[in-house]
A and B are shown apart, each in its own frame.
Chain A
Amino acid sequence: MALLDIRNLSVAFTTRAGTFRAVDGIDLSVEEGEVLGIVGESGSGKSVTSLALMGLLPPGSRVTADRLNFAGTDLLSLSPAQRRRVVGKDIAMVFQEPMSSLNPCFTVGFQLGETLKVHEGLSGRALRRRCIELLEQVGIPDPESRLSAFPHQLSGGMSQRVMIAIAVACNPRLLIADEPTTALDVTIQRQILDLLVGLQRDRGMGLILITHDMGVVAETAQRAVVMYAGQVAETRPVEALFTRPRHPYTGALLDALPERALGKRRLPTIPGVVPGIMDRPEGCVFNPRCRFAAARCRSERPALFEVDEGLARCFYPLPDVPLPDGILPGGLHTRGMGQASGEGLGEGAAR
């Protein structure tokens, strides 16, 4: 049984202008001890999915799912109080902005100890010892004196380490890291990522790593989900996804990696932006930006089709041809159905 098993998860926001779906029928599963990468541009619904899982969405949002099982328990059937016993203990989350994610009015020790107090009933000396131990585990030097530090006295990297310590305090079975390194210096990013992966390995917990950095996914995850406009575009093992992308969006994302564009004058980009939740296009949500879009793509919504080792939401997936590194997947072939086969992504961006 999978640790996390989500079927057909949708999140709708009701505003004065109407109801909009930010997440649209997502399936997701994480095995015990697995690292799952979720990639996608801003606005693709990555964060909303994880917040829905944690039950942290603001009022006015409606979460529906055929199944939202964690370790065999249906999270949607739990009362808020019951759910709070799971959230923060068995499922924990690390956020994008470490500096603003810690409460400025309380010390590190207080904020870390609070979780242990609420979920494990620790207090007094045992609590203090456990806090120091946790700060040590996340690589904070001089943990004893850090306990009485206020968040504004910590750097971004240190804050994120504290956030991670809080998240893993109760030995969660699943940790969700929502762009944990985006707000940090490049040099610190590496360290935080190593820390997360190290903790994951040592504790054997499941890890969902949400990022828009394909490189991070390639290095850390076993399986990856590519999200686009609130839907899963492609989900496959990392190895397969990176060498033989089947969804044109995945292919285009990979093309946009600088290391794959060596020797080119311009870095390929994907023209346009992710459609907002109010103006999702007809048919395939990616069709306005897809260089292979055909008439069917503009009128009919593709389902997730089985491709080798996974799923891709595309009527005309890219061919299953392994690509040598550094070659555009789109440049290897031309398609009869494509808009204009000569018009590459790079040229699209140059316009």
Chain B
Amino acid sequence: MLRFILTRLGLVIPTFLGITFLTFLLIRLVPGDPIEVRVGERGIAPERLAELRREMGLDQPLWQQFLDYVGNVLSGDLGTSLVTRNSVLSEFATLFPATLELAFCAMLFSVLIGLPAGVLAAVKRGSWFDHGVMGLSLTGYSMPIFWWGLLLILFFSVQLGLTPVSGRLDLLYYIEPVTGFMLIDTLLVGETDAFWSALRHLILPTIVLGTIPLAVVARMTRSAMLEVLSEDYIRTARAKGLPQRRVIGLHALRNALIPVVTVIGLQVGTLLGGAILTETIFSWPGVGKWLIESINRRDYPALQGGVLLIATAVIAVNLIVDLLYGVFNPRIRHAR
């Protein structure tokens, strides 16, 4: 078990190096550096420009900049934002809970709906329900996130006025962050009104972000269930005279969950990636929106650090999923 974790951690090193290198290079391929972007059309004296560049270390050759950066990261320093002058790590830490809350709700949404829908579709294979679920999930999977988000805003917020258009909380409230999760913090200070406000703000972003994982979970559950339902042990369960819901909900689902859990784990990456678009659409004050702003301002350290930290989160979640795998699959548990 320990060996397994160590091997997995060993594999993380090249992943990190690759990510660092790519973000470092790609953001510098975008025309304009942080200073030019800030100065805009006003222009700046060449001497001042050179001075600022030297200050930010941008006058060094690229390879030197890269080595410096990697060296700093290895000693635990992700640098400071060129725009806000705050440490990248602390900026990330304040914004990440918002992203996490949204991603968690989206995951919950996709699993709570996708899992039962997939199971039912498999049990009622070939029925209208099955075709409906599969058709909808294909549509959901193919839907561009930004378009889907705008569509929902138009209908629910603009036409019906049911949900807020953007943000995490009505401006009426101010909640001191404790956990960073708005739903929890509002309840901690006993502000039920603020809680409902936070919840209403979450609805549309959750649906938008959860649509693709929902489609994936539903399809995966259905196909895993179909495979499991034709197994001999399901026939055995039926031959024991067990009630249908026990055969499906316990004997079949338990086995079908094994591949589904893996897929859910992989979706975490999609969620954090999708958060970038969703947060931008809904002005959600999370890491995704921050990354987009960092790109626009050519805030190199913020972008590089943010991508690296998100990658860390995705890798960590995948490792946890791999470890959880043993909980769901006794064969793996004993093999290790």
In the complex, the chain A residue whose C-beta lies closest to that of B125 is A59
Q: Is the CB of A105 within 8 A of B232?
A: no
Q: Does B330 contact A (CB under 8 A)?
A: yes
Interface status of A86 (Cβ within 8 A of chain B): yes
Task: Please classify how large the interface on chain B is, using the bins under 10, 10 to 19, 20 to 34, 35 or more.
Answer: 20 to 34
By the criterion CB–CB under 8 Å, are B239 and A119 in contact? no
A98's closest neighbor in chain B, by CB?
B232
Q: Which residues of B contact A84 (CB under 8 A)?
A: 241-243
Contact status A119-B241, CB under 8 Å = yes
B135 to chain A, nearest CB (A): 21
Q: A103-B255, A105-B255, A152-B330 are in contact. Are A88 and B242 (CB under 8 A)?
A: yes
Let me know if A166 and B240 touch, CB within 8 A.
yes
Q: A14: CB under 8 A from chain B?
A: no
Q: Does A100 contact B (CB under 8 A)?
A: yes
Chain B residues with Cβ below 8 Å from A150 are: 330-331, 334
Which chain A residue has the least Cβ–Cβ distance from B254?
Answer: A105
The reply on B235 being an interface residue by CB < 8 A is yes
- Judge whether B231 and A100 touch: CB under 8 Å: yes
Interface centre among B233, B330, B331, B334 (most CB of A within 10 A): B233
- B251 interface residue (CB < 8 Å to A): yes
Whether A163 lies near B236 (C-beta < 8 A) is yes
A86 partner residues in chain B, CB cutoff 8 A: 241
Residues of A within 8 A of B246 (CB): 118
Q: Per-residue CB proximity of B278-319 to A under 8 Å, as 1/0?
A: 000000000000000000000000000000000000000000
Q: Interface range on chain A: under 10, 10 to 19, 20 to 34, or 35 or more?
A: 20 to 34
Beta-carbon contact of A97 and B232 below 8 Å: yes
Residues of B within 8 A of A153 (CB): 334
| Residues of B61-104 whose CB lies within 8 A of A | none
Per the bound structure, the CA–CA distance linking A26 and B238 in Å amounts to 24
Q: Is B329 an interface residue (CB 8 A)?
A: yes
State whether the Cβ of A244 lies closer than 8 Å to any Cβ in chain B. no
Q: Are B241 and A56 interface neighbours, CB within 8 A?
A: no
Secondary structure type dominating chain A contacts = helix
Given the complex, which residues of B lie within 8 Å of A152, measured CB to CB? Answer: 330-331, 334
- Our pick among A54, A103, A104 for the contact of B239 (Cβ within 8 Å) is A54
B242 and A106 contacting across the interface, CB-CB below 8 Å: no
Closest residue of A by beta carbon distance from B230: A58
Given A150-B331, A152-B330, A153-B334, are A101 and B233 also a contact pair (CB < 8 Å)?
A: yes
A-contact bits for B248-278, CB 8 A (1 contact / 0 none): 0001001100000000000000000000000
Q: Which residues of A contact B255 (CB under 8 A)?
A: 103-105
- Note all chain B residues with C-beta closer than 8 A to A147: none
Give CA–CA (A46, B232) in the complex, Å.
17
Q: Are A114 and B242 in contact (CB under 8 A)?
A: yes
User: B58 on the interface (CB 8 Å rule)?
Assistant: no
A163 to B243, CA, bound (A): 19
Residue from B233, B237, B238, B240 within 8 A of A104 (CB atoms): B233
**A88 and B254 in contact (CB under 8 A), knowing A100-B231, A101-B233, A105-B329?**
no
Smallest beta-carbon distance B249→chain A, Å:
13
Q: Is the CB of A56 within 8 A of B235?
A: yes
Chain A: which residue is nearest B240 at the CB level?
A88
Question: Which residues, 205 to 244 on B, are CB-close (under 8 Å) to A?
Answer: 231-233, 235-244
CB within 8 Å for A87 and B239 given contacts A103-B251, A150-B330, A152-B334: yes
A100 pairs with B232, CB closer than 8 A? yes
Are A88 and B239 in contact (CB-based, < 8 A)?
A: yes
The 8 Å CB contact of B240, one of A80, A81, A97, A115, is: A115
Are B330 and A105 in touch, CB under 8 angstroms?
yes
Minimum CB–CB distance from A246 to chain B (whole Å) comes to 35
Minimum CB–CB distance from B225 to chain A (whole Å) comes to 14
Q: Which residue of A lies closest to B253 (CB)?
A: A105
**Nearest CB of A to B17, in Å:** 39
Contacts of A210 in B (CB 8 A): none
Contact A118 B237, beta carbon cutoff 8 Å: no
Q: Which residues of B contact A81 (CB under 8 A)?
A: 243
Q: Are A101 and B329 in contact (CB under 8 A)?
A: no
A161 CB–B CB distance under 8 Å:
no
User: Looking at A88, A97, A153, which has the most chain B CB atoms within 10 Å of its CB?
Assistant: A88
- A272 to B334 Cα, complex, angstroms: 47
Centre residue among A56, A87, A89, A101 by max chain B CB count within 10 A: A101
**What are 15 A-B pairs with beta-carbon distances under 8 A?**
A80-B244, A84-B241, A85-B241, A87-B240, A87-B241, A88-B240, A88-B241, A93-B239, A95-B239, A103-B251, A103-B255, A118-B242, A150-B331, A152-B331, A153-B334
4 nearest A-B pairs in the assembled complex, by CB-CB distance: A88-B241, A88-B240, A100-B232, A103-B233
B→A interface (CB under 8 Å): 231-233, 235-244, 246, 251, 254-255, 328-331, 334
Interface residues of A, Cβ cutoff 8 Å to B: 54, 56, 80-81, 83-89, 92-93, 95, 97, 100-106, 114-115, 118-119, 150, 152-153, 163, 166
